[in-house]
């Protein structure tokens, strides 16, 4: 007999203001260490978040398949016709440019968030690990950070992304996927692993607070693992959070994020002293993976037409490409 579906109790968000109130502390606060006890770990998407443009798109449009074919391939991912990994391999495989030459176009095409460098310095001053978590290629992301931040500051950023094999002439670009799944990189799993490792490193009685920063729906599997979620204002992730009543903090630049993180740090220190659960913790970060499985999907959710909602709540079943012959049954 198949196990019964586990249906989480619905939460009443009807009267909730999901935007976290803006902080009121002094805008001229010192960038030096605040001195709070709680371990905080930041994860951020790269394309569209730290940088306004997509690094892969810049390369594909200039030295690969071109914008028209790329748009066709993007649509194939959205419709489920082909997996993200399959389409990505075609896009990267279309490149015909040496690595160094390909980077030249990114120097002029990419624009970094105007306040990111200041926020990154804040993280360094306060011993906050800052991690890039991306579906892109690590060598490209590292080279971009080295260029825009300088190698010394770039070295403080851990990049959790796919690797790459690129031959010297630049005729072969091949992703080396970090995970064996149709997405190539399971961002949610990467954050779970980091959370578990951080707990082992923390002092007795402390639990790390996880911050995630993103801009698009593709960030949802990682966002659900965060205690505090920042969504770039006016883009798809914020729109999804509003439509589905998911708590988030909007931001325009990383200066907004710094103000809020400072406020959260002081609030948590005052209320908890850094012990036990953070003041702003996400209980779903630890329960969704336990209760979600292909045999435990409520029928009302499986029948919901919004694939994005399924991807957020039941990532193991819905966040990856599903061939039609392997479709998830709707009955036990």
Answer for the pair 5, 297: CB distance below 8 angstroms, yes or no: yes
Cα 96 to Cα 238: distance, rounded to the nearest angstrom: 36
Q: Which of 47, 54, 61, 215 does the annotation list as catalytic?
A: 47
Active-site position among 45, 61, 186, 215:
45
**Torsion angles phi and psi, residue 330, rounded to 5:** -95, -5
DSSP string, 174-195: EEE-SSSSTTS--HHHHHHHHH
Active site residue 215: no
Q: How far is CA 103 from CA 38, 97, 115, 200, 270, in A?
A: 39, 9, 23, 39, 47
Residue 120 CA: distances (Å) to CA of 111, 115, 196, 206, 293: 16, 9, 23, 24, 37
Residue 47: active-site member:
yes
DSSP class per residue in 11-79: P--TT---BPPPP-S-TT--SS-----S-EEEEE--BTTTBSS-HHHHHHHHHSSHHHHHHHHHHHHHH
Measure the CA–CA gap between 104 and 263, rounded to whole angstroms: 40
Residues marked active site are found at 45, 47
């Amino acid at each position: 007999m198949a196990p019964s579906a586990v249906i989480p109790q619905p939460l009443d968000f009807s009267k909730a203001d999901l935007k976290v109130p803006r902080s009121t502390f002094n805008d001229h606060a010192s960038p030096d260490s605040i001195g709070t006890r709680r371990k905080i770990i930041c994860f951020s998407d790269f394309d569209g978040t730290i940088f306004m443009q997509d690094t892969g798109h810049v390369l594909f449009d200039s030295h690969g398949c071109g914008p028209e074919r790329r748009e066709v391939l993007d649509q194939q991912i959205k419709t489920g016709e082909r997996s993200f990994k399959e389409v990505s391999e075609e896009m990267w495989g279309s490149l015909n440019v040496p690595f160094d030459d390909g980077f030249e176009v990114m120097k002029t095409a990419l624009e970094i968030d105007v306040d990111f460098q200041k926020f990154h310095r804040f993280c360094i001053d306060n011993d906050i690990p800052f991690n890039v978590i991306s579906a892109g290629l690590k060598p490209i992301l590292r080279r971009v950070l080295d260029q825009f931040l300088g190698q010394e500051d770039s070295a403080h950023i851990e990049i959790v992304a796919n690797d790459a094999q690129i031959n010297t002439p630049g005729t072969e670009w091949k992703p080396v996927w970090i995970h064996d799944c149709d997405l190539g990189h399971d961002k949610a799993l990467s954050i779970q692993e980091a959370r578990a490792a951080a707990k082992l490193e923390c002092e007795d009685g402390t639990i790390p607070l996880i911050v995630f920063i993103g801009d698009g729906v593709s960030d949802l599997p990682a966002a659900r693992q965060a205690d505090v979620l920042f969504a770039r204002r006016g883009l798809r992730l914020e729109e999804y959070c509003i439509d589905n009543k998911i708590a988030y903090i909007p931001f325009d630049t990383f200066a907004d994020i710094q103000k809020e993180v400072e406020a959260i740090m002081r609030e948590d220190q005052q209320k908890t002293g850094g012990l036990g659960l953070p003041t702003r913790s996400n209980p779903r970060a630890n329960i969704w993976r336990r209760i979600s499985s292909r045999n435990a999907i409520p029928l009302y959710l499986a029948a919901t037409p919004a694939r994005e909602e399924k991807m957020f709540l039941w990532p193991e079943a819905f966040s990856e490409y599903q061939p039609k012959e392997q479709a998830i049954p709707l009955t036990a």
